[in-house]
């Protein structure tokens, strides 16, 4: 029997050697989630996939054995089932092959959402530009890992809270000379804010390194209409949940440490510039902690309550509610497998997230309408400015305004388009 005939014979169950091979370098480990069913994390060529326990068992057997009889008997024994090779082959082709982990196909895109501060992996990320590679990140962060040791981490965290309490009791913002800030000193604030952004990302990377997760890169990108930095710490998925929580919080932790120094400096000198930079830093991490965007707060909420694919799970919960209103039951696993506390928090997230975005739309609607109505005039003014002896600074100002309006209109249009798509999918739900 030639090779082709042998492969065909095996595929119909009459052969003995499995021709299907998984890609090399596959790693399989438990995934710490708040679900009633065991879940596993499969890593293949820098891609991450969430597997159910039966699929994880099958992958382990395919990695360990090459004989059809052995795989079938071991799988049936472990899962207490009575599958034939044809059944197992169907499982492989239906659930494993689309992930691209078979040796003849290469690893496909998708899989579990990589953690990029976990920003970088979002479908909402328009642009992604790596800046610092893994080897450099490792050299920078390794000496810093001690700040995440519990004996250092918690005292500094308490100190940051105490610093803000002191600021609230002693600061007098009305005495700040704002005229000093809105000058060339804004350039200092801009540079310092971007430096803080870099240190924020190093905080995530350092926490990941502390617990043994690798860091792929640090870079910048555009998320929705915001310029963001990101740290690709997808390897953090393999960590226990509480270590993922610390890694998620690592960037804000660094910003809190920066706030301690800024509060001390402000207490000593009452500098308007220092106070303004402190406010910029504070507002920055408060926005980042908001769980409704896929920034640090999103991943913190997801990991604290062990809810995988938080946004997708919330949408599934909404569909489940719609099904029940129609007197039917949605067969799914994303919500039903969650522990009671996590399930309750998922529904709370569902309600508050939609309320939040409704509020954002209400607040922004007038701004967006004015931007859209005034857009043609902005283009025309800029066109005439280039043909007239207009000051260079004035042209730059007009260009910035036009770009801002363009960005806002495009971002809102994209958000509306996605919302309409989602509503249509819900309407078609049967």
Residue by residue, DSSP assigns 286-319 as HHHT-TTSSSHHHHHHHHHTT-SSHHHHHHHHHH
Residues 267 and 192 in one domain: yes
Contact between residue 243 and residue 251 where contact means Cβ atoms under 8 Å apart: no
Looking at the predicted structure, is the pLDDT value of residue 103 above 90? no
The domain containing residue 334 runs over which residues?
A: 310-427
Mean per-residue pLDDT, 392-396: 69
What's the pLDDT at 294?
A: 85
Which residues lie across from 49 on neighbouring strands?
Answer: 42
Q: Which spans in 80-184 are helix H?
A: 85-91, 134-141, 150-170, 178-181
Indicate if 330 and 374 belong to the same structural domain: yes
Domain total of the chain:
3
- The pLDDT assigned to 119 comes to 42
Do 298 and 373 share a structural domain? no
Q: Is residue 228 part of a domain?
A: yes
Give, in degrees to the nearest 5, the angle at Cα 192 between 191 and 195. 90
Supply φ then ψ for residue 21, to 5 degrees.
-125, 145
Q: Which residues contact 269 (CB under 8 A, 6 or more apart)?
A: none
Are 412 and 279 in a shared domain? no
Are 250 and 336 in a shared domain?
A: no
Q: What pLDDT, on the 0 to 100 scale, is given for residue 206?
A: 95
Q: In the predicted model, is pLDDT for residue 430 greater than 60?
A: no
pLDDT at 140 over 70: yes
> Within this chain, do residues 140 and 276 fall inside the same structural domain, yes or no?
yes
pTM over 0.75: yes
Domain boundary (270, 304, 338) is at: 304
Last residue of a domain, one of 99, 128, 149: 99
Q: Which of 180-184, 192-196, 235-239, 408-412 has the lowest mean pLDDT?
A: 180-184
Q: What secondary structure does DSSP assign to 210-240, as a single string?
A: HTT----EEEEEEETTEEEEEEE-GGGGGS-
Residue 269: phi, psi to the nearest 5?
-120, -10
Map residue 358 onto helix, strand or coil. Answer: helix
Least confident of 145-149, 241-245, 331-335: 331-335
Closest to 335 measured CA to CA, from 121, 322, 113, 56: 322
More confident residue, 89 or 327: 89
At 44 the three-state DSSP class reads strand
Measured in degrees and rounded to the nearest 5, phi and psi for residue 212 equal 90, 10
Q: Are residues 172 and 138 in the same domain?
A: yes
344 versus 331: the higher-pLDDT residue is 344
């Amino acid at each position: 029997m030639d090779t082709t005939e042998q492969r065909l014979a095996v595929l119909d169950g009459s052969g003995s050697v499995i021709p299907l091979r998984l890609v090399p370098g596959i790693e399989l480990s438990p995934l710490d989630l708040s679900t009633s069913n065991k879940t596993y994390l499969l890593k293949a060529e820098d891609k991450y996939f969430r597997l159910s326990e039966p699929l994880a068992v099958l992958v382990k057997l395919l990695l360990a054995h090459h004989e059809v009889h052995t795989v079938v008997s071991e799988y049936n024994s472990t899962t207490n089932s009575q599958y034939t090779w044809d059944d197992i082959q169907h499982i492989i082709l239906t659930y494993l092959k689309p992930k691209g982990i078979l040796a003849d196909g290469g690893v496909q895109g998708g899989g579990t959402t990589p953690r990029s501060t976990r920003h970088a992996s979002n479908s909402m990320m328009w642009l992604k530009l790596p800046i610092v590679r893994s080897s450099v990140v490792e050299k920078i962060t390794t000496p810093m890992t001690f700040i995440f040791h519990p004996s250092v981490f918690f005292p500094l965290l308490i100190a940051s809270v105490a610093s803000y309490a002191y600021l609230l009791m002693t600061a007098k913002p009305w005495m700040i000379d704002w005229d000093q800030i809105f000058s060339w000193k804004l350039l200092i604030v801009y540079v310092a804010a971007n430096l803080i952004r870099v240190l924020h990302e190093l905080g995530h990377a350092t926490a990941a390194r502390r617990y043994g997760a690798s860091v792929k890169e640090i870079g910048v990108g555009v998320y929705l209409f915001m310029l963001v930095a990101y740290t690709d710490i997808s390897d953090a998925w393999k960590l226990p949940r509480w270590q993922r929580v610390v890694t998620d919080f690592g960037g804000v932790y660094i910003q809190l440490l920066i706030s301690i120094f800024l509060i001390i400096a402000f207490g000593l000198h009452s500098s308007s510039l220092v106070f303004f930079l402190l406010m910029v830093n504070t507002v920055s991490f408060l926005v980042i902690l908001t769980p409704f965007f896929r920034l640090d707060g999103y991943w913190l909420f997801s990991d604290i309550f062990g809810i995988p694919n938080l946004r997708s799970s919330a949408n599934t919960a909404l569909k489940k509610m719609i099904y029940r209103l129609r007197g039917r039951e949605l067969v799914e696993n994303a919500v039903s497998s969650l522990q009671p506390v996590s399930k309750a928090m998922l529904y709370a997230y569902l309600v508050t997230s939609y309320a939040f975005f409704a509020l954002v739309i209400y607040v922004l609607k007038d701004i967006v309408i004015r931007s859209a109505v005034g857009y043609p005039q902005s283009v025309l003014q800029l066109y005439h400015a280039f043909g007239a002896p207009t000051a260079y600074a004035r042209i730059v100002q007009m260009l910035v305004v036009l770009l801002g309006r363009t960005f806002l209109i495009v971002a809102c249009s994209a958000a509306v388009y996605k919302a309409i798509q989602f509503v249509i999918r819900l309407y078609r739900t049967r």
